[in-house]
Amino acid sequence: MKITKSLLLFSLLFFHVQTVQTMGSNNGLPKEIFRHWVHSYEEDTREAKVFRPGNYNFPRSRGRFGFEIKENGEFVQYGIGPADRPARISGYWKAEGKDKINVYFEDKESASYAINIISCTEDVLMIKK
């Protein structure tokens, strides 16, 4: 019985470590991508959504969508919740090449999606609409 429990625990731990290592693999993503980004919708173009770092001096707005991409594979989405209060959803990301990030959420009610990078510098992130 103890051997079975130990084997099961070891298997679960091994699977978790492998998943985290895979999720955080950056596959050549630009190093500047790893930060908190906020939608600067005033700057959007026909083809792209524009994001600025969280500390950017934005014009006044009722609320802004944003996200944070962490090097360890974590992803945090910041939305606008009820009564215009910030809503935070935790998840993780997986790179698919140097210009695509697939996002998955712990909350199964939140749909997964892809971020297709057009360009990324320290000051501006542009993604495909």
Phi and psi at 36, nearest 5°, equal -90, 120
Torsion of CA 113, 102, 55, 58, to 10 degrees: -30
pLDDT score, position 1: 58
Our count of domains for the chain comes to 1
CATH number of the structural domain spanning residue 35: 2.40.128
pLDDT per residue of the chain (129 residues) written in tens, 0 to 9: 556 544 444 444 444 444 444 455 788 999 999 999 999 999 999 999 999 999 999 999 888 999 999 999 999 999 998 887 889 999 999 999 999 999 999 998 999 999 999 999 999 999 999
Question: Looking at this protein, which amino acid is placed at residue 39?
Answer: H
Cα–Cα distance measured from residue 67 to residue 37, given in angstroms and rounded to the nearest whole number: 5
Strands 74-80 and 66-69: antiparallel
Cα–Cα distance measured from residue 97 to residue 115, given in angstroms and rounded to the nearest whole number: 12
Domain that holds residue 88: 2-128
- Quick check: 116 and 128 in contact, CB under 8 A? yes
Whole-model pTM: value is 0.79
